[in-house]
Amino acid sequence: VRVVAALDATSGARAVLSVAQAISAVVSADVDAVHVEETVPAVPIADLVGCSVRTLPPPIESVLVEAGRAEDVIALVLGLKRSDGVRVLGRVARAVCTRSERPIILVPPTTPIPFALRRALVPVPPDPMATTTLAGTIRLAHGVALEVTVLRVGDPTNVPLFEDQMFHETEAWAREFLARYVQLPPEAVALEFRVGDVADEILSAASDLGADLIVLGWGRDFGPRRALIVRRVLERTMTPVQLIPVLP
């Protein structure tokens, strides 16, 4: 199996490659470093990243989506860009994310190199069906010996009425959650509870907990008023983000 690393001619390409290599090592996959040559780069990509790179002909979005459809590809790794100081999801990344059925890992250019993948943060939505979809990822991460923290963020308007015995109630909720949706024993993953703005809390939890990867489920739709949390996380994250397509 392969992890496709889509490299461009920016300095962020090295971070993309490093993340792809770390993920490949964890899941015993090969890295397939590719570059779609819309223009001839000043420095050859292979020289930039220090490894062999397959060069593919444009158009770039279609080529990457098609590359991701191969049966042996388990994930695509793309770079996040900066524009005028604000992180933006580039045209290519946006198109590939919405059209790909494979998990996409989006890598900020500031990601440290060499990248090490040890801890994954998995924010779970209140919708149990979406949680069920993420459960496979949680089990997979646990199965490859990653430290997994499941994050549940409460909305301030949805704070519980009562909490008579915080410790016992939290533990009871965690056991029930893991047994019902993840089918893992309670000691397999850590649970983190926070209250506040969901995107803010995801980012601060990733920072506080030293997460190497944020795993988000999403509906593959960047239309108006869609994927608001995903967008806000991608705009500001300093941590690579894995988007898992969640079926509606």
Is the CA virtual torsion 47, 48, 50, 51 positive or negative? negative
DSSP type of residue 59: P
C-alpha dihedral over 192, 194, 198, 201, to 10 degrees? -80
Q: Which phi and psi (to 5°) does residue 235 adopt? A: -65, -30
Told to check if 179 binds another protein by CB under 8 A, we report no
- Rounded to a whole number of angstroms, the distance between the first and last alpha carbons of the chain is 27
Q: Does 186 bind another protein (CB under 8 A)?
A: no
Q: How many Å apart are CA 207 and CA 201, to the nearest integer?
A: 10
If the CB atoms of residues 101 and 163 are measured against another protein, the closer one turns out to be 163
**Contact range with another protein by CB under 8 A, out of 59-67, 88-96, 149-157, 218-226:** 149-157
Among 116, 172, 179, 228, binds another protein (CB under 8 A): 172
Residue with smaller CB distance to another protein, 192 or 235: 192
Q: Is 187 in the site for another protein (CB under 8 A)?
A: no
Name which position in 9, 174, 188, 195 contacts another protein (CB under 8 A): 195
Among 57, 85, 156, 224, binds another protein (CB under 8 A): 156
Q: Which residues pair with 194 in a beta bridge?
A: 153
For another protein, which residue of 167, 224, 225, 248 counts as binding (CB under 8 A)? 167
How many Å is the maximal CA-CA distance in the chain? 65
The residue among 172 and 228 lying less far from another protein, judged by its C-beta, is 172
The b-or-e profile of 199-222 (16+ CB within 10 A means b, else e) is bebbbebbeeeebbbbbbbbebee
Closer residue to another protein in complex, CB, 83/157: 157
Provide the minimum distance between the beta carbon of 118 and another protein in the complex, in angstroms, as a whole number.
20
Q: Which residues here bind another protein, judged by CB under 8 A? A: 154, 156-157, 159-164, 166-167, 169, 172, 176, 193, 195
